[in-house]
Amino acid sequence: MTNPEHLNTPLQRNSVSVYLIILVALSSCYGQLNAFTQVAQYTPSIGVVLLATFLLLSGKIKNFQKSSTQSVICGAIITLSALLGAMLSQDAQSALYALVFIFTWMAILVILQKYTMTAILRSFAYGGFVSVLIYLAMSGFKIQGALTISGNEFSTGDRATGPFTSHPNLIAHNMAIFTILAVVLAPSEKTIGKLILYGTAIFATLILLSTASRGGLVALVTALIIATTITHRKNLKHLLLIFSLLVVAGIYIALFQSEYIDRLILIMDLNSSSRGLNSGLSGRQQLWSMVFSQFFTINIPFFWGGGFRNAWLSNFISAVDNGYIVIIAETGFISLIIILARLAFVLLRSAKRVKLTPNSMDAAIVGLVSFILIESIVARYFLAIGNPASFLILFLIVAGAKGYIIEKRYPLPQNTL
């Protein structure tokens, strides 16, 4: 039977990194408000490069895991694919971004030699707390957006863009990841940690709802169901408790806050003329068709892509909301296979481990990977370095199934592998 003590295995007893918390918080300020918030998208890359440099120069990294060689090769293939596309299209900015990407990849690889994945996940979770706090404070502690709409009409203008005027889907992307981390990691924290993380989950979910991001909401709910079911499948009491709490919350809202149900129905309306199925998935189908028409051309060579943020994709199709298509367009089909394979192995290994020995780290990884695979059908943030959520997913991609645990420091029972 699963219980909180069982979840709090030695894998979970790791300190958090204040440095990573600050890094997550600062990169959450990415938006269009001014030049500073636009530059914030490079905060994660700069931050990890500085941290990796410190670890190397201080001698804290004695040797590298055997799986590091495979990770270097994968990162090099993705980068070379993007560089090839950038050079063929003579896109200097795209080539520069490819260099930023490989430096970021290598810096993450160095960090993974020092920090366990549990420490990294906890750091991002508490970074999420600070990020949510910044969002609320900069917004005057008001969550405005879809939560405040009324009537029978809903427009894109009703969606919250946050204090930094970010895209609503990007805000939802980050808040969903923070929610998954908070909900899954909270049971293994002490009382104060539980309060902090559960509070983060509540407000992050409310912020997500204010953005009216249907893809983010559906992916979040599905990922939480998967992670919770796998982790607590043998603990019927725990699952019933969660279900009962959700039913009670639903009844309370229906009786005393019914306007929120009306707003949720309005947000999720699939027959909406501007955001429903009749609009071609909010115009996505038309954009996808435009990308498909460029496969095997100089714009998108398909197998190696046209380069990160290549000019054609940025200038003519600025919102191709499908992470899989974007990866092919930027780094090629070969890179997509590499990325999906590494995440698939991480997901399968964590799912197997958490079934045998329930622990919050593997449960969180299952939730995170499930979320990004589902959300990427209607969002373009799969492979990115400018926001905390995609940045965390990149940690998992770089680590791979064999590299996300420093097994020498935290040996596992033989039957969990």
Name beta bridge partners: 300.
295
Q: Please, what sign has the CA dihedral across residues 204, 206, 208, 211?
A: negative
Residue 404, amino acid: Y
When pLDDT is cut at 50, 70 and 90, the band that residue 286 belongs to is confident
The confidence score (pLDDT) of residue 274 equals 55
* Three-state SS sequence of the chain: CCCHHHHCCHHHCCCCCHHHHHHHHHHCCCCCCCHHHHHHHHHHHHHHHHHHHHHHHCCCCCCCCCCHHHHHHHHHHHHHHHHHHHHHCCCHHHHHHHHHHHHHHHHHHHHCCCCCHHHHHHHHHHHHHHHHHHHHHHCCCCCCCHHHCCCCCCCHHHCCCCCCCCCHHHHHHHHHHHHHHHHHHHHHCCHHHHHHHHHHHHHHHHHHHHHCCHHHHHHHHHHHHHHHHHHHCCCHHHHHHHHHHHHHHHHHHHHHCHHHHHHHHHHCCCCCCCCCHHHHHHHHHHHHHHHHCCECCCCECCCCCCCCCCHHHHHHCCCCCCHHHHHHHHHHHHHHHHHHHHHHHHHHHHHHHHHHCCCHHHHHHHHHHHHHHHHCCCCCCCCCCCCHHHHHHHHHHHHHHHHCCCCCCCCCCHHHC
Average pLDDT over residues 374-394: 95
Q: Which of 155-169, 249-263, 266-280 has the least mean pLDDT? A: 266-280
Average pLDDT over residues 114-139: 96
Average pLDDT over residues 340-349: 96
Give the 3-state secondary structure of residue 407: coil
Q: Which of 26-30, 189-193, 216-220, 313-317 has the least mean pLDDT? A: 313-317
Q: Which of 3-7, 92-96, 146-150, 191-195 has the least mean pLDDT? A: 3-7
State the helix-helix crossing angle for 191-211 and 214-232, rounded to 10 degrees: 150
When pLDDT is cut at 50, 70 and 90, the band that residue 409 belongs to is very low
Average pLDDT over residues 182-196: 93
Please check whether residue 297 is in contact with residue 349, taking contact to mean a CB–CB distance below 8 angstroms: no
When pLDDT is cut at 50, 70 and 90, the band that residue 202 belongs to is very high
Work out the percent of the chain whose per-residue pLDDT is above 90. Answer: 62
pTM of the model: 0.89
The confidence score (pLDDT) of residue 290 equals 86
The confidence score (pLDDT) of residue 240 equals 76
